[in-house]
Amino acid sequence: MNRFPGQTVIVTGAGSGIGYEMSQRFLAEGAAVFAADLDPSGVPEGTVGVRTDVTEPESVSALIDMAVQQTGRLDVLCNNAGASSTTDPVACTPEEWDRVFAVNARGVFLGTKYALPTMLAQGRGVIVNTASAAGLVGLKDRAAYCASKGAVIAFTKQVAVQYAGTGVRCNAVCPGTVDSPWVGRLLDAAADPEQARAGLVARQPMGRLGQPGEIADAALYLASDAAAFITGTELVIDGGLLAG
């Protein structure tokens, strides 16, 4: 059964990994999907690929305007685009800090800022932000990443409280370690990629990494009417990592 027939959905970071799976699943469930990415050539077939830089207000505003002008509505926004960082506070440069925050925190803010007027005018809408389990705990060599994802979680709660009762909900998904191209690039940069992957798997209570589709499924649940009484929460999908 389709949960999103006739709805308009925007997904950022849709060219690969979690964003690709989100876009594909929303499309399969009846939505018109605007799949945004710096390089939209890899977005799922059947979606509307839009080149978008989530750090630039004009780019994000144009994305929202395109979706609303073409369909007359905006039902779901998935602020999913993200940037990685693997340094400690001493090694992290101010430039790296700003780059990570520009994508992970500023990008979520801009998407939300420009989506809200349409959603509020409709009296309904859902925002799903991709945060991280790293936003809830401290991880070694993830200074900017942990801080930026923590900011996403706090912002999600603020938006949820600000607009509770208007018909607009805002939640976050917090993935653990996911077997995605993004994690693959981090492993490729390691001195011993196979050993690094084995280490990631070994720390998982379930004995495996997550799959992008599992995170996407959680996002679709939060965007659906089945989650109508859920706002301001962070849904952790980490195979038990934080429970250990």
Domains of the chain: residue spans and CATH: 8-175+211-235 (3.40.50.720), 178-209 (no CATH)
- pLDDT value, residue 187: 81
- Is residue 11 within 8 Å of 22, Cβ to Cβ? yes
One-letter amino acid identity for 170? C
Q: Which of 85, 52, 84, 89 is nearest to 67 (CA)?
A: 52
Question: Model pTM greater than 0.85?
Answer: yes
Exposed, middle or buried, 41 (CB in 10 Å: 0-12/13-18/19+)? Answer: exposed
How far apart CA 206 and CA 112 sit, in angstroms, is 34
- pLDDT value, residue 190: 81
Q: Of 20, 114, 145, 163, which residue is the catalytic one?
A: 145
| Alpha-carbon dihedral sign for residues 191, 192, 196, 197 | positive
From first to last of its 244 residues, the chain has per-residue pLDDT tens of 799 999 999 999 999 999 999 999 999 999 999 999 999 999 999 999 999 999 999 999 999 999 999 999 999 999 999 999 999 999 999 999 999 999 999 999 999 999 999 999 999 999 999 999 999 999 999 999 999 999 999 999 999 999 999 999 999 999 999 998 878 887 888 888 889 888 889 888 999 999 999 999 999 999 999 999 999 999 999 999 999 7
- pLDDT value, residue 188: 84
- pLDDT value, residue 120: 98
Active site residue 163: no
- pLDDT value, residue 181: 85
- pLDDT value, residue 98: 98
Q: What's the token pair of residue 106?
A: 């500023």
- pLDDT value, residue 61: 98
- pLDDT value, residue 184: 84
